[in-house]
Amino acid sequence: MLKTIQMTIDAGMLEEVDDVVAQLDITRSAFIRDALGTALKSYRLRELRRLDEEGYRLIPQDDEEVEEWAGVQEWGDEWNVAK
């Protein structure tokens, strides 16, 4: 369900948005919804990375754990084997 909101925006930015939406042949609302969706995805990704870093900082991997995973990694060049 879509909700109507009111927002304040810099006049120069609004002019730029109006130019872009005219080129894309979409509404301001559609453009802003897409921009907000992109910003929210970016925020969630940054937050996940921050939490991951925090987890490794609080509980760092020991050398034995790193060695265990290093043994199962394959860094071969399987894409170029047939060439």
* Alpha-carbon gap, residue 54 to 47, rounded angstroms: 10
Of 76 and 22, the structure prediction assigns the larger pLDDT to 22
Do 31 and 24 contact (CB within 8 A), yes or no?
Answer: yes
**Band of residue 61 on the pLDDT scale cut at 50, 70, 90:** confident
- Mean pLDDT computed over 7-21: 97
Q: Per the confidence metrics, is the pTM higher than 0.75? A: no
Question: At residue 22, what is the residue type?
Answer: A
| Residue 11: half-sphere exposure toward Cβ, Cα within 13 Å | 0
- Mean pLDDT computed over 2-8: 95
pLDDT given for residue 70 in this prediction: 78
Residue length of the chain? 83
